[in-house]
Amino acid sequence: MHEYRRRLYVDGHAGCIVHGDNISVQYEYGSHLLLITNHDWFEGTSHWFYWLNSSGHVVDQASTPDYFGFIQDLAVDEPDTIRFGFFGTNDKWSLLVSEPGVWSFAPAHLLRRANRFLLAKRHLSFNCIKGEPWTLPA
């Protein structure tokens, strides 16, 4: 798994190590940064969501299940809500971003969280609405 990790550099200084080969999306939220990375492998694409502070250190991290395709139809609905989907599925995802963070140990918040962030505040919360089975457009 080490070959799918990269070191971030912030203002010329070594920052944190993130998973993925590519940066899919990058948004600035006040003094924080939302970074979405991915790794495309033969049987799917893995996606990681990072909440970084101004020093480039990871404050929160979560991921979605692996999908066959990349993020698509990305839209910022409100300043703190991002809506998106994945190619090859009709599932609709939303990501709620909370700059101050919230304490929650609900199963939905623990499910896609990296182990070292299980006992930390939640800055990233997912919601998924399952869609109809996907077929190739005609």
pLDDT digit string, tens, across residues 77-119: 888 899 999 888 889 999 999 888 889 888 877 777 878 788 8
What is the rounded distance in angstroms from the CA atom of residue 82 to the CA atom of residue 63? 14
Q: Greater confidence, 12 or 84? A: 84
User: Rounded mean pLDDT of 33-60?
Assistant: 88
Residue recorded with tokens 């939303």: 94
* pLDDT score at 2: 60
* pLDDT score at 81: 92
Share of the chain above pLDDT 90, in %: 16
Q: Nearest 5°: CA angle at 118, between 73 and 112?
A: 30
